A and B are shown apart, each in its own frame.
Chain A
Amino acid sequence: MSPSESTDAPHNAAVVDNDAARSRDSARPGRLQGALFQSIGDAGRAELVERRLAGAITGGHLRAGERLPSENDLARTFGVAPTTVRESLLALRGRGLVVTRRGRNGGSFVAESTDPVAHARTALAETSRLALRDMGAHYAAITAACVRLAARRAVPSEVQKVRSRLNRLNESDLEQWRSTLDDVQIELVALSQSARLTREQMRLQAEMSPMLRLIDADEASRSAQHALLLSVVDAVEAGDDQAAVAATERMVDAVIDALIDLQSHTR
């Protein structure tokens, strides 16, 4: 209930004295002020850079052995001083995620020993069922909003390009299999023509994708995910927004169920 509807105000206040009602309302704390005064955290800039890079490494978005951009390039991109980048790289070296080599072909590299699957297994074991379901609810809400718009706005030739990508899904390389599925999902969502929703989807996809690799090992799970995503593509191509939303919700439910199953078997 919004403050203007609260029961202690006279029912006809807005009619009787509009201005008085408005000034009374503005004096009351609104629900949204709760968000305003939430903790903004006190992580230093180096810690934020470290967290960003660590997330990319443990999530497998930066691969073992991959060369990181130079300190100066990273500093420019993140909009921080080179010393801040150096500090965060030092911390990442301390955690064993990054190694630095000297010499002509030197630089910082993702440590060969990093294993995104092991990181994902730890993350899954440490996440409660409640948090998994809530992550699913968030993911489903954003994805459903995207495919609803995509079904209304995309032209068939655009959806067919996404479909042909999905048709080339290759079971022989599981890492490639997951990254193709991620790409197809992002491309589908971009057809919503909404930049904000697409950015949010990419953030969620990057968060969930490492965990999803754990259920990809199971062939039945892979074919179920493939079939469900295909049904979303079908609905978007047909311009059927309700079917696209329903198929998306089925897909997310199946994935979260599989994660919870896996979690209860390995605990």
Chain B
Amino acid sequence: MVTTTTATETAARAATIVSQYFSVPIAALEVKAAQLSAELAGSGRFGELSSHQLDALVEPHALNIVALSEARVYGAGFIAAVGLLADERNHLSWWQGDEPKRLLLAAQSVNKEHIDYSELEWFRVPMETGRGHVAGPYVDYLCSDEYTITVAAPVHIDAKFVGVAGLDLLIDSVERQLLPQLAELGASITVVNSVGRVVLSTDARHATGDAVRGGALAELARTACVGVALEIIAE
């Protein structure tokens, strides 16, 4: 017999599914960030490392994260703080794609080489708080060129901030992986981020990217997901 569950119970179960989904890449990134900071600490003083040396350190970790089987990670890598490297100011040590390649200048686009990373949420928040952060969804015009969630963790050497380790999850993949699980709960489930933007919904009328504000969802209760700043609205 089918038991009736309340919207609150359904929302709690959905929150668990979402938390579990994100916990795998978040945990993997934190492990890699810690390993990288140990390796960076052993490889020379701040300001003496070359971009080439950094890439060699970062590559195995980045490829390892992109190969995670539990969540489809599109790209991963490390973005050095200004001053860490001797030869480059804005260095992206980043691998992405189905056959991961290091991201280079994007000649078709504007100014990617001259971007100040400290303006970008996924860099700024870990830099300022010293803690990991999940940013987005947002159109990532720097790395993936897709609608993306970025998981980011600060990297320190002896308490000095030296950069941010990160990974990209495409919303396209998140939808493919999470939606079937949420749909099994039977109710209408919408996942929203901390600014009230729809990440995905089992209800086709709630489009990814839309703002909750002003709509029917705005009035409904939200259930927080543990470990990731996302919330569930169950109808």
Contact = CB atoms under 8 A, between A and B. Distances in A.
A206 B104 contact: no
B72 interface: no
A158 B195 contact: yes
A77 B145 contact: no
A10 B103 CA distance: 57
Interface stretch (A192-200, A214-222, A258-266): A192-200
Contacts of B110: 61, 179, 182-183, 186, 202, 205-206, 209
B196 A199 contact: no
A195 B195 contact: no
Given A76-B102, A198-B141, A199-B145, A155 B196 contact: yes
A62 B107 contact: yes
A157 interface: yes
Contacts of A62: 105, 107
A55 B108 CA distance: 8
B145 A73 contact: no
Main secondary structure of the interface of A (DSSP, over half): helix
A153 interface: yes
B3 interface: no
B186 to A, nearest CB: 28
Given A153-B209, A153-B210, A153-B211, A192 B108 contact: no
B114 A179 contact: yes
A190 B138 contact: yes
Interface string B195-229: 11100000000001111010000000000000000
A189 B211 CA distance: 16
Nearest to A68: B105
A165 interface: yes
Contact of A77 (B101, B115, B146, B208): B101
A158 B197 CA distance: 12
B102 A206 contact: no
Given A62-B105, A69-B105, A193-B147, A182 B209 contact: no
A202 B147 contact: no
Interface in B169-183: none
Interface string A161-180: 10001000000000000010
A195 B146 contact: yes
Interface in B100-129: 101-105, 107-111, 113-115, 119
Contacts of A152: 210-211
B137 interface: yes
A206 B109 CA distance: 6
A105 B199 CA distance: 47
A203 interface: yes
B24 interface: no
A61 B107 CA distance: 7
Contact of A73 (B104, B107, B213): B104
A186 B141 contact: yes
A53 interface: yes
Contacts of B109: 61, 202-203, 206
A99 interface: no
A183 B108 CA distance: 14
Contacts of A69: 104-105
B104 A195 contact: no
19 contacts: A52-B107, A53-B107, A56-B107, A61-B109, A61-B110, A62-B105, A62-B107, A76-B102, A77-B102, A158-B195, A179-B110, A190-B141, A193-B137, A194-B147, A195-B139, A195-B147, A198-B139, A202-B108, A206-B110
Interface of B: 101-105, 107-111, 113-115, 119, 137-139, 141, 145-147, 195-197, 208-211, 213
Given A193-B139, A202-B109, 16 more contacts: A52-B108, A62-B105, A62-B107, A73-B104, A149-B209, A152-B210, A155-B211, A183-B111, A192-B209, A194-B209, A195-B139, A195-B146, A199-B145, A203-B109, A206-B108, A206-B109
Closest 9 CB pairs of A and B: A193-B209, A56-B107, A190-B139, A77-B104, A198-B139, A182-B110, A202-B109, A155-B195, A195-B147
